[in-house]
A = this chain, B = another copy of it.
Amino acid sequence: MTLSERDKKHLWHPLTQHKLYPDHLPIVRAKGVYLYDDKENRYIDGIASWYTCMYGHCNDKIASKIKQQIDELDQVVFSGFTHKAAIELSEKLIGILPDNQQKIFFSDNGSTSVDVAIKMALQYHYNNGEKRSKLIALEDAFHGDTFGAMSVSGLSVYNGPFEDFLLTIDRIDVPNKNNFEEVCIKFESLIASGKIAAFIYEPLVQGAAAMKMYEPDFLNKLLKIAKKYHVLTIADEVMTGFGKTGRNFASDYMSIKPDIICLSKSLTAGVAPMAITSCTMEVYNSFYDSDLKKGFFHGHTYSANPLACSAAIAGIDLLRSEGIQQNIKLITNRHLEFKSVMDNHPKVKSTRVLGVIFALDLDIEMKRYGKLRDKLYNFYMKNGVFLRPLGNTIYILPPFVISDSELKKVYSVIKQSLEVV
């Protein structure tokens, strides 16, 4: 039996209607920006395997760290015990996070980092003797798939079966120059109810909403309003974190800093699942008490897993290196050049760039999953590039280590693809 046939027997893939999409291509190895299938075809990983492998696949520096760690300390209970990799990681993270972030709480994926952030925000007010029972989120947000994270995500046909089981959320539109005043008025009036514990948002780029971007100035104004009413602000930087927007974190673009930040994906450089929810001393201090019950009784068994911490340390070292910082600038510039070309294409409605994120919307209506979308996907794969169009949006989020010629190939395949739709 081939790998593909064996796959069909027992595997239930995420986000997949198996009756419509029965086939899963076996990837047998990966190196740098390339994925290799079981027939030795290679594909440029144009989205860094969902924004994780930003320093390239099977990066030697990261691999050697992992090999060292697995012989030294695999796992240890993180209540009562600590270990070097977690300590070193916390120091390195605090070194690059916005200055007001001072404490690091571990979990295992983006969804749990959001559930943790929501719980922190609710208990923060609870511990301070205030009952605040609602959150504000942005329309079209995506924050994950656990019940807390689903609640603050936008409703769609895909989470419909769970609509009755979610937290109570107020939603505001993503601010733009046309609706900005209106959004601010609604935001402030929702907050004035006194019931709002926190405002959660993907700063500047809504990834799953097809790399929708919005302006720092607008977000900064919303953050200012939230601060005024002592509503906690939660930046979900699971997708945007670690250099992808051109700065270490998207939050670096605003003068007002969030109270809580969620991190995952490229945190571990594509090696193992791990997530972090960081926060200010003010948040932490509301839990710090002689009353045991005021503590934060949340914990996952593999919290601060040493292997994942080691990968994260190596990742941050790479991120801070001159080479990677230069690459980020180069990719951004190339994206801007490509943008100006695509802006004049008759089939292109709009384009946008932030850091290494490039996106274009086609002037064609398309379903998120559907024949046209599949045609594009297959065209890219046939031409050796892995990209996942989202509805009528084609986007690139390449590993930082992509070369100029590889990037040119991605652009050229996208240009050609516009002829087939």
Q: Which A positions have Cβ atoms within 8 angstroms of B?
A: 3-4, 6-7, 9-21, 24-30, 35, 47, 49-53, 57-59, 62-63, 66-67, 70-84, 86-87, 90-91, 93-94, 102-112, 115, 118-119, 122-123, 126-127, 133, 144-148, 151, 157-162, 164-165, 167, 264-265, 270-274, 279, 284, 287-305, 307-308, 369, 377, 388
> Does A300 lie within 8 Å of B111, measured CB to CB?
yes
11 A–B contact pairs at CB < 8 A?
A7-B86, A13-B78, A17-B292, A20-B290, A25-B82, A57-B74, A63-B74, A66-B70, A80-B388, A272-B308, A292-B369
Question: Which of B265, B292, B300 is within 8 Å of A109, CB to CB?
Answer: B300
Indicate whether A58 sits within 8 Å of B87 (C-beta atoms), given known contacts A293-B158, A293-B160, A298-B145: no
- In the complex, A335→B221 CA distance in Å? 63
> Given A108-B108, A308-B273 in contact, is the A17-B294 Cβ separation under 8 Å?
yes
Partner of A126, one of B53, B115, B161, B292: B161
Q: Choose among B10, B14, B74, B112 the residue that contacts A79 (Cβ–Cβ < 8 A).
A: B14
A146 to B275, CA, bound (A): 14
Contact B297 A70 (CB under 8 A): no
- Asked if B29 contacts A58 (CB within 8 A), the reply is no
Shortest beta-carbon distance, A354 to chain B, in Å? 20
Beyond A52-B75, A264-B301, list 5 extra A-B contacts (CB 8 Å).
Answer: A66-B66, A107-B109, A108-B273, A158-B295, A265-B301
- Asked if B146 and A303 make an inter-chain contact with CB atoms under 8 angstroms apart, the answer reads no
- Whether B300 and A14, one on each chain, are in contact in the complex, defined by CB atoms closer than 8 angstroms, is yes
**Closest partner residue, chain B, to A76 (CB atom):** B27
Contact A10 B115 (CB under 8 A): no
Number of copies: 2
**Residue picked from A12, A25, A72, A86, most chain B C-beta under 10 Å:** A12
Complex-state Cα separation, A74 to B297, whole angstroms: 32
Q: Which of A6, A145, A264, A377 has the most CB of B within 10 A?
A: A145
Question: Given A271-B307, A300-B111: A50 and B77 within 8 A (CB)?
Answer: yes
A187 to B19 CA separation, bound complex (whole angstroms): 36
A91-B10 contact given A24-B82, A73-B29, A301-B109, CB 8 Å threshold: yes
Q: Is the CB of B12 within 8 A of A305?
A: no
Residue of B whose beta carbon sits closest to that of A14: B299
Q: A145's closest neighbor in chain B, by CB?
A: B298
Q: A14-B78, A53-B74 are in contact. Are A307 and B272 (CB under 8 A)?
A: yes
Are the CB atoms of B83 and A26 closer together than 8 Å? Answer: yes
For A148, give the chain B residue with the smallest CB separation.
B147
Residues of B within 8 A of A127 (CB): 161
Residue of B nearest to A283 (CB): B12
Instruction: Evaluate contact between B49 and A75: CB separation under 8 angstroms.
Output: yes
Residues of chain B within 8 A (CB-CB) of A145 are 115, 119, 297-300
> Which 5 A-B pairs give the minimum distances between C-beta atoms?
A14-B299, A17-B295, A158-B297, A147-B147, A273-B302
- Residue pair B305, A146 in contact (C-beta under 8 Å): no
Contact A57 B78 (CB under 8 A): no
Which B residues lie within 8 Å of A14 (CB)? 78-79, 105-106, 296, 298-300, 303
Contact across chains for A297 and B108 when beta carbons are under 8 A apart: no
Q: Chain B residues with Cβ under 8 A from A11's Cβ?
A: 82, 86-87, 90, 103-104, 304
